[in-house]
Chain A
Amino acid sequence: MAEDKHPLGLNDRSVFVYRHKNLTPVWTICGVMKEEVERIQTSLQIDEDIDLHMKSWRVQRVGWGHMVSFLLLAILGLFGNGLLSERTLGKGGTFLTYDRFTRFENDTEMEIEAQSVNGKISVVLPPDFCERFKVEKINPDPSVQKGDNGSTVYEFQASGRAHLTLFLSPRSHGSLRCRVAVNEAEFEIVNFIYP
């Protein structure tokens, strides 16, 4: 078995260990554990669990990451007022813009741009929608306002194209999927209200 022996007296196992001792651990490259934390012995009567400290520092770093991503998502509009939230639907020259994400009791707007038919525009809000949102104000004021099988119907007098704004206030939290009709066009509204 003499030919199996390494000239420097190393066997397979020692070479393996040697190699791994020289590897830079991934966490050092990432900078997560770059700074050495001293381990000490003191005469203090103190409950100092350094491993728990290190664990909590690690959790803190992850927490900071979550805080930043939370803010970025908020800027993008995942919680309302932003790119991810605003949605415009169009059908046959009628456009409806609304916020996909809204927050409880935080006012939002729905904008409708439509062509009048026979001098009027009608907007039908289904019962689900009226349960979730309180219509605070409509600009311009509707000429007719009536109930129809649980839905609320607004009629506006208009000539040519008109721009309507509904000022809404969310009354409860949760998700909503319903159909809002503007003249003959139906739009599917998907919305989530944060608590």
Chain B
Amino acid sequence: MNPVYRGLSIYLFILVLFRIMGKKSLSDATTFDFVLLLIISEVTQQALVGQDFSITGSFILITTLVTTDLVFSLLKENFPFIGKATEGLPLVIVNKGKPLTGRMRKTKVSEDDIMESARASFGLEKMDDIKYAILEKSGQITIVPFSR
């Protein structure tokens, strides 16, 4: 199969699969998650390259991946909906000291994850000290404390 098609299909498949998997907060990533990511990249590499070990083949593949990424970022700029659909949006998970459990369950974020971020960024002690906690597009939890 042509390397361009290989690159394109794998790019799109991974994009869709990771979107379906859902936004999991980065603070939740375990060593196992990293190992899993390494295994996924190994499997992907074999399907991408196949039997083609030529330099030209790798040039074509790298250009395909980078161009697809560029096209997507241009599309996101011009059609915000595409960005929202592929990357998601930030989500408020704590509102004025109250954890929004429905939202947290949907995004698989626990109170411990939020408190961990709160301690790390502001040294906050209790949930009541958090004005807002937001699960960002990147999977990070950002904290807005009550102004003291």
For A6-41 the 0/1 string (1 means CB < 8 A from B) is 000000000000000000000000000001111010
Interface size class for chain B? Answer: 20 to 34
Interface pair A35/B95, CB less than 8 Å apart = no
Contact A38 B89 (CB under 8 A): no
Distance A44 CA – B22 CA, assembled complex (angstroms) = 24
Q: Which residue of A lies closest to B105 (CB)?
A: A35
Question: Which chain B positions have C-beta within 8 A of A60?
Answer: 19-22
Task: Return the CB mask of A153-170 against B: 1 if under 8 Å, else 0.
Answer: 000000000000000000
CB distance from A31 to the nearest CB of B (A): 12
Is there an interface contact between A49 and B84, defined as CB atoms closer than 8 Å? yes
Q: Is the CB of B1 within 8 A of A195?
A: yes
Interface segment out of the listed A51-59, A80-88, A138-146: A51-59
Q: CB < 8 Å: which of B16, B21, B92 contacts A44?
A: B92
Cβ contacts under 8 Å, A67 to chain B = 17, 20
Considering only residues 92-106 of chain A, those with a C-beta below 8 Å from chain B are: 104-105
Q: Is the Cβ of B1 less than 8 Å from the Cβ of A48? A: no
Between B19, B21, B89, B101, the greatest number of chain A beta carbons within 10 A of the residue's beta carbon is seen for B89
Interface of A (DSSP majority class): loop
Complex CA distance for A16 and B126, rounded to whole angstroms: 49
Given A44-B144, A49-B89, A60-B22 in contact, is the A37-B102 Cβ separation under 8 Å?
A: yes
Shortest CB distance B12–A (Å): 14
Q: Could you pull out 6 A-B pairs where Cβ atoms are within 8 angstroms?
A: A40-B100, A50-B91, A57-B22, A59-B20, A105-B51, A195-B9
Binding site for A on B (CB under 8 A): 1, 5, 9, 16-17, 19-22, 50-51, 84-85, 88-92, 95, 100-103, 105-106, 132, 134, 144
* 20 further contact pairs, Cβ within 8 A, besides A53-B89, A67-B17: A35-B102, A35-B106, A37-B103, A37-B106, A38-B100, A40-B95, A42-B132, A44-B134, A44-B144, A48-B92, A49-B84, A50-B91, A56-B19, A56-B88, A57-B106, A63-B20, A66-B20, A67-B20, A195-B1, A195-B5
